[in-house]
């Protein structure tokens, strides 16, 4: 199974949970991917931190090495234009809500799609 958005398809939407530990991306072919970003250091990569101020051990690791794909599914038959992580207090699982150009609105479990 391919776990990447394919060349030629555009990322059309993304969302993160409140704790910024899970990120979900959507593409123009109707696929969604859930990433575990709990170990990503957002300040080191991309927040304008001066390079000489970054500790040497952080320079060895790029941001994407700490971003792990948890699942990747074909959710819609057309472009996904809206995606949102829905966190439910005291629920067993959180959800991903998607809307696509195929005129469908779908609800997915954050844990497994």
CATH class of 11-38+67-109: mainly beta
CA gap 103, 90 in Å, rounded = 31
Confidence bin at 91 (pLDDT 50/70/90): confident
pLDDT tens for 17-57 read: 998 889 999 999 999 999 998 887 766 655 555 555 555 55
**d(C-alpha 18, C-alpha 53), whole Å:** 28
**Model confidence pLDDT, tens digit, residues 54-72:** 555 554 455 566 778 888 8
Q: pTM here?
A: 0.76
Could you tell me if 26 and 95 are in contact, meaning their C-beta atoms sit under 8 angstroms apart? no
Domain ranges of the chain: 11-38+67-109
59 burial (CB, 10 Å; 0-12 / 13-18 / 19+) is: exposed
- Decide: helix, strand or coil at residue 102: coil
Q: What is the pLDDT of residue 30?
A: 94
């Amino acid at each position: 199974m391919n776990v990447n958005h394919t060349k030629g398809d555009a990322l059309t939407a993304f969302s993160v949970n409140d704790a910024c530990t899970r990120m979900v991306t959507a593409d123009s072919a109707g696929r969604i991917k859930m990433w575990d970003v709990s170990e990503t250091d957002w300040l080191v990569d991309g927040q304008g931190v001066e390079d000489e101020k970054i500790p040497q051990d952080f320079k060895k690791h790029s941001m994407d090495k700490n971003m792990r794909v948890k699942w990747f599914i074909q959710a819609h038959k057309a472009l996904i234009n809206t995606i949102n992580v829905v966190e439910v207090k005291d629920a067993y699982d959180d959800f991903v809500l998607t809307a696509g150009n195929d005129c469908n609105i779908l609800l997915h479990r954050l844990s497994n799609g």
